Amino acid sequence: MRKLIEKIEQYAKENNIPIMLPDGILFLTNYIKENNIKSILEIGTAIGYSSIRMALIDKDIHITTIERDEGRYKEALKNIKLFNLENQIDVIFEDAFNVELSDKYDLIFIDAAKSQSIKFFEKFKFNLNNNGTIVTDNINFHGLTKEKVIKNRNTRQLVRKIKEYVEFLENNQEFTTYFVEDGDGISISKRIKSVS
């Protein structure tokens, strides 16, 4: 099992595909265990790495994950099959903004286009169980959110969007959020009041 996981990690590295950093995935999987989470919606499958790691925690965990890139989607399906997790992980090949779901989840994991995090949060919060959590990865964006000067214009714009997202979370009246430095920075948002 470990060998297969290492193979995916190696593939991600060689093909420049962003996957969660080791202590980030460790934090996430521990959070899932400690909070007895069984249903997960993931925005941004990539090659299926985090879905697989989450599904391996417990055979009763079910994950719906969305990926818009065809190459990554196919690679994810291949990897999920390697682990015999097809019954636990459903991969939707579509842009997340075009996906309408009626199911409710214990945890929503946002790990897709960083510039769209606010929109993802606002769209999918309605799919969250009352006591559910929305987790977002890459809050530090390789430490760049703490840099004073960023030369690259595109990177600068992306970092500005991430900072706006952090501000959005901090000022959100509906959710309470805390941040951890594990991995590339993770936010954990819990709904303050129940919605009917």
Q: Is pLDDT at 142 greater than 70 in this prediction? A: no
More confident residue, 12 or 182: 12
Mean per-residue pLDDT, 146-167: 78
pLDDT of residue 156: 77
CA distance to 41, 145, 184, per residue, from 156 (Å): 29, 9, 17
> For the whole model, what pTM was predicted?
0.91
- For residue 1, what are the contacts with CB-CB under 8 A and spacing of at least 6? 56, 83
Q: Say if residues 58 and 124 touch (Cβ distance below 8 Å).
A: no
pLDDT-above-70 percentage for the chain: 93
Burial class (CB in 10 A: 0-12, 13-18, 19+), 76: buried
Supply the mean pLDDT for the chain: 91
CA-based nearest residue to 55, from 19, 21, 79: 79
Q: Name residues whose C-beta falls within 8 Å of residue 98's C-beta, 6 or more positions apart in sequence.
A: none
Higher-confidence position of 155 and 83: 83
Among 18-27, 116-125, 143-152, the least confident range? 143-152
Distance CA 148, CA 170 (A): 21
CA distance 175 to 191: 4
What would the pLDDT profile of 93-123 be if each residue is shown by its tens digit? Answer: 999 999 999 999 999 999 987 889 999 999 9
Give the tokens for residue 102: 């009626």
pLDDT at residue number 6: 93
Q: What is the pLDDT of residue 144?
A: 62
Q: Which residues contact 28 (CB under 8 A, 6 or more apart)?
A: 20, 50, 53, 54, 109, 135, 186
Domains, the chain: 2-191 (3.40.50.150)
The two tokens of residue 41 are 């919606």
